Structure 1
Amino acid sequence: MNLKHTVGAIALLGMAAGAGAQDMLVKIGHTGPLSGPQAFSGKDNENGARLAVEELNAKPITVAGKKLKFELLSEDDQGDPKAGVTVAQKLADNGVKFVVGPYNSGVAMPASRVYSDAGMVVSTVATNPKITQQGYKNLFRVNASDTQLGAKMALYTANELKLKTVAVIDDRTAFGQGLAEEFKKQARQSGLAVAGHEFTTDKSFDFTSILTKLKTKKVDAIFFGGYAPQGAPMARQMKQLGINAKLLGGDTICTPEMGKLGGPAVGDNVLCVQGGALLEKAAAGPAFKAKFKKRFNADPDVYAAAYYDAVQMYAASMQKTSSVDPAKVGADISANSYKGVTGTYAFDGKGDMKQSPVTIYTFKNGQPAAIASF
C-alpha cells in the first residue's frame, strides 16, 4: 500500500472512531438465579431483557444527539440474599444505573438498599409487599404483589371453586411466607376455613410428614407459598398419599417446569395465579411470543415479557427526558405511564402498579393453561 492510501485508510479509521465516540453506552444490569433449581426462571427473565437490548441496539435510538448503545450485564444472584447484595454492589461498581431484577423477594429486600444508595433505577418482579414499603426512590414492581396474587387466588377458591376448607404450606422465604399470609388472610375473609399452616424450606423435597398431617384434616385444597422445584414433588407426594385436594400456588409454580418435574401428578388438580392479563390476549402478546421463540428457540415463561417491558420502558423514558440520568428517568417513570407487551405500567407513590390484573391457570399436558383473568 502506498503512502497516499495509508494516510487515507488512517483518516477513515479516525472517522469511524469518532463516530463510535458519539455513541453513549448504557449498561443494563440483570440479577437473578442463573444457577440452582430456579435457573430456568432466571434464564427466561434474562432472555426477556436480552431481547429488548438487542432490539434497541438494532433500531437504534438517539438521546441528546447521541446514539445509545445498550449493554446487558447479567449476574447470578443464586436466589440467595447474601449473593444478591454482592451482585448489587458489583453492578454498582461497574457503573450500571438501570437494573431489571431481582427475581426473589428474599434477594430484593436487602439488595434494594445497595441500589438505592447507588442512585440506580430498579424494576423487580419480586412480590413481597414489604419491598416497596421501604421508601426507596426509583424502585418499581412491574407485576402484581403478593397482596394481589394471594388474595385473588383465595377469592377464586371461595367464589369460583366453591371450596370450604383449605390448608397452607410456605417455604419460609420472604416470597413464600408473604404470599401464604395474604392468601390466608383473604381466605378467612371470604368464609374459608383454614385448617392448618405448615412450614418447610426452599431446599426440601420430602413433604410426606406435613402432607400426612393435613390428610387427617380432610382439606379441599392446599395452598403452597413457594417455588416449582418444591411444588412439583409436593404434587407427586399428594397423589401417592391419596390426597385428592387441589394444590394451589402463586406465579412461581405457573411454569412448564412445574409440569415437567411433576409429570402426571400435575394436571387440573393444580391451580396457580400469575400477575398480568393473558399474554395471548394482549395486543402485542402473540408477536412477542413469536420473536422470543425465534431468538431463543423456546416459549417465554412467566416473566420474560415483564423484563422485556422494563428495559423498553427505561429506553422510552430516556427518549422522553432526553437524558440517561437515572434520577430524571426514574422521575418520568413515576409520573407517567408506559404501554408494554403485558399491559400499561403506571405506578403509585410506593412504586407498585396502580392496576395489575391476574390470570388463574391450571395444567394441561404439563403446560400452564389459562382459565380466567380478572
Structure 2
Amino acid sequence: MPFKRTTLASVLLVAIGSTNAYADQQVLIGLAAPLTGPSARIGKDLENGAQLAIDAANARHPKIAGEAITYKLIAEDDQSDPRTAVSVAQRLVDAGVVGHWNTGTSIPAARVYNEAGIAQVAPVATGHAYAQQGFDTSFRIMGHDDDGGQVAGHYALQTLKAHRIAVIDDRTAFGQGLADQFIKSVEADGSKVIAREYVDDKTADFSAVLTSIRAKNPDLIFFGGVDAQAAPLARRMKQLGIKATLMGAGGFVSQTFLTLAQKEGEGVTALEPGLAIDQMPGGRAFAKAYQDRFKAPIELHAPFAYDGVGVLIAALEKADSTDPERYLPVLRASAFQGVTGTISFDTEGNLKNPTFTVYQVKENKWQPVSVAGGKP
C-alpha cells in the first residue's frame, strides 16, 4: 500500500498530511522555531531536543501499517514573529511540516493547522489563549499562564512578602498575557499593583520605565518578557539603585540570562513551567545524552521538544496509521510517559496536572526553590 506523509504537529514540532506517496517511506516531523534572531539559541535548543527524539525513535526500527519507516526532522525558521509564523505555517503545510515556539506565533499559526486538519502539539507556548480558540487540533505539553500567573502571584505575596509591586510587560501575547494573569492573582489575594508599565520586545534601554517605577518605591518588579530583555533590565535596576526583587516567568531560566546578567542577576526570581531537569523523571539521562551529542548544556526547553516529538510518534504508532482521522483521537487520549513527566490532555488540549518550579539566581546559578502543581 502507498505510504502517506504524516499529519501531526506541534508548536514546535509537527508533521503534516498529504496523499503523496514516499518511495523511501519517510515520515516527516517538522520543527518551526526562531532559528535566527535574539531567540535563536532557544530555537536551536528545541531543534536539538527534537532531533534526539527522532534518533531514539529510528533506533527502534519502527513500522507503521506493516511497513518499515524512518522519521525525519525538518526545521524551519519563523523568527519568533507572528506574521512570519503564518507564512511559515502555510508553506510547511504545503510541504508537509509545521510547528512554532512562543505564544505569539502559535496562536495565529494554529488556525492554519486546524484548517489543514493537522495536530499541533505545543511543547512551549504558555498563553492560555492558544488552546482557547476552539480547535480540536491544538495541544500543549506545558502548563499555561493562567495557572503560572496564579502561582507566581501567590509566591510573590506569601513567600517573598512583597507589598509594593510594579509590573512591566513587553506587549507580546506571551508577556502581556502573563502579566495580566499575575496581576489577577495579586489582586485576588487582596493586594494591589502600584504601577503598570509597557515596553516592546525590542526594548534595550529600560531607563524611562524604571525611573518612573523607582519613584513609587517598589519592593518587587514583575516582568512579562523573555531572558534576553530580563538581563539588561536587571542590570539597569542595579545601576539606578532599585533594590526591588526582579521576578519573571517562562523564559527567564536560561544559561543566556546568567551570561548576560552576571552579578546583577543575583536574587532574581522566576517561575518556569515543568520540573527542574534533575527532578524530571528522565531528566538526568536526557541531560547527559544532550551533552554527549551536542557538547553543550541544555539551554532551556529541549526536554519539552523531545517529549513533543515523542507523544506525536507514540500516537502515530499506536494508531498504526498516518491518517489524522485515526491518530488524532489516539493523541487526544494520550497518557505518554515522557522525560518531563506524564503527558495527557484536558478537553481544551492543555496538559493535565501541570507542574511549575520557582527558581532563584544564587551564586550565578539558577537554583530551584519551590514546586507547585502536579499530581498530589
Please give the TM-score of this superposition, normalised by the length of structure 1.
0.91
How far apart are residue 80 of structure 1 and its match? 0.5
| The 10-residue stretch of structure 1 (284-293 or 120-129) with the greater mean CA deviation from structure 2 | 120-129
Give the structure 2 partner of residue 8 of structure 1.
Answer: none
Which whole-Å CA distance do the structure 2 matches of 1:367 and 1:329 have between them? 42
Could you tell me which amino acid in structure 2 is paired with residue 84 of structure 1? Answer: A
How far apart are residue 286 of structure 1 and its match? 0.5
**2:45 is aligned with 1:49:** no
Equivalent position to 1:282, from 269, 272, 280: 280
| The 10-residue stretch of structure 1 (202-211 or 120-129) with the greater mean CA deviation from structure 2 | 120-129
CA contact (8 A) 1:60 1:68 kept: yes
Could you tell me which amino acid in structure 2 is paired with residue 316 of structure 1? Answer: A
Q: Which runs of 5+ in 1 are unaligned?
A: 1-20
Give the structure 1 partner of residue 11 of structure 2.
Answer: none
Give the structure 2 partner of residue 253 of structure 1.
Answer: 252
How far apart are residue 219 of structure 1 and its match? 0.9
How far apart are residue 326 of structure 1 and its match? 2.5
CA contact (8 A) 2:113 2:137 kept: no
Give the structure 2 partner of residue 240 of structure 1.
Answer: 239
How far apart are residue 149 of structure 1 and its match? 1.5
Give the structure 1 partner of residue 315 of structure 2.
Answer: 317
Which whole-Å CA distance do the structure 2 matches of 1:365 and 1:36 have between them? 29
Give the structure 2 partner of residue 201 of structure 1.
Answer: 200
Could you tell me which amino acid in structure 1 is paired with residue 85 of structure 2? Answer: G
Q: Which runs of 5+ in 2 are unaligned?
A: 1-21
Give the structure 1 partner of residue 191 of structure 2.
Answer: 192
Could you tell me which amino acid in structure 2 is paired with residue 112 of structure 1? Answer: A
SS in 2 for 1:373: strand
1:1-374 mapped onto 2 (5 Å cutoff): 24-96=25-97, 99=98, 101-124=99-122, 125-268=124-267, 270-374=268-372
Which whole-Å CA distance do the structure 1 matches of 2:104 and 2:23 have between them? 40
How far apart are residue 22 of structure 1 and its match? 7.9
SS in 2 for 1:27: strand
Please give the TM-score of this superposition, normalised by the length of structure 2.
0.90
SS in 2 for 1:217: coil
The structure with more radius of gyration:
1
SS in 2 for 1:253: coil
CA contact (8 A) 1:267 1:365 kept: yes
How far apart are residue 160 of structure 1 and its match? 1.2
Give the number of aligned pairs: 350
How far apart are residue 192 of structure 1 and its match? 2.9
Could you tell me which amino acid in structure 2 is paired with residue 352 of structure 1? Answer: N
CA contact (8 A) 1:278 1:373 kept: no
Query: Quick one: percent identity of the two aligned structures?
Result: 39
Give the structure 2 partner of residue 11 of structure 1.
Answer: none
Which whole-Å CA distance do the structure 2 matches of 1:162 and 1:364 have between them? 19
CA contact (8 A) 2:231 2:261 kept: yes
CA contact (8 A) 1:154 1:186 kept: yes
Which whole-Å CA distance do the structure 2 matches of 1:118 and 1:259 have between them? 41
CA contact (8 A) 2:166 2:220 kept: yes
CA contact (8 A) 1:23 1:66 kept: no
* RMSD between aligned residues: 1.4
How far apart are residue 263 of structure 1 and its match? 1.5
SS in 2 for 1:87: helix
Deviation track 1:55-91 (CA, whole Å, cap 9, x = no partner) reads 2122221122112211111011001111101111111
| The 10-residue stretch of structure 1 (336-345 or 321-330) with the greater mean CA deviation from structure 2 | 321-330
Find runs of 4+ consecutive structure 1 residues off by over 6 angstroms. none
Give the structure 1 partner of residue 5 of structure 2.
Answer: none
How far apart are residue 23 of structure 1 and its match? 5.5
Deviation track 1:278-315 (CA, whole Å, cap 9, x = no partner) reads 22022311101100111111122321101100111111
How far apart are residue 110 of structure 1 and its match? 0.9
| The 10-residue stretch of structure 1 (328-337 or 151-160) with the greater mean CA deviation from structure 2 | 328-337
Which whole-Å CA distance do the structure 2 matches of 1:138 and 1:79 have between them? 21
Which whole-Å CA distance do the structure 2 matches of 1:201 and 1:365 have between them? 30
Deviation track 1:167-226 (CA, whole Å, cap 9, x = no partner) reads 100000000000000001001112333101100000011011110111111111000000
Which whole-Å CA distance do the structure 2 matches of 1:50 and 1:367 have between them? 27
Which whole-Å CA distance do the structure 1 matches of 2:46 and 2:105 have between them? 15
CA contact (8 A) 2:255 2:300 kept: no
CA contact (8 A) 1:138 1:331 kept: no
How far apart are residue 114 of structure 1 and its match? 0.8
SS in 2 for 1:370: strand
Could you tell me which amino acid in structure 2 is paired with residue 106 of structure 1? Answer: G
CA contact (8 A) 1:258 1:366 kept: no
| The 10-residue stretch of structure 1 (148-157 or 358-367) with the greater mean CA deviation from structure 2 | 358-367
How far apart are residue 122 of structure 1 and its match? 1.1
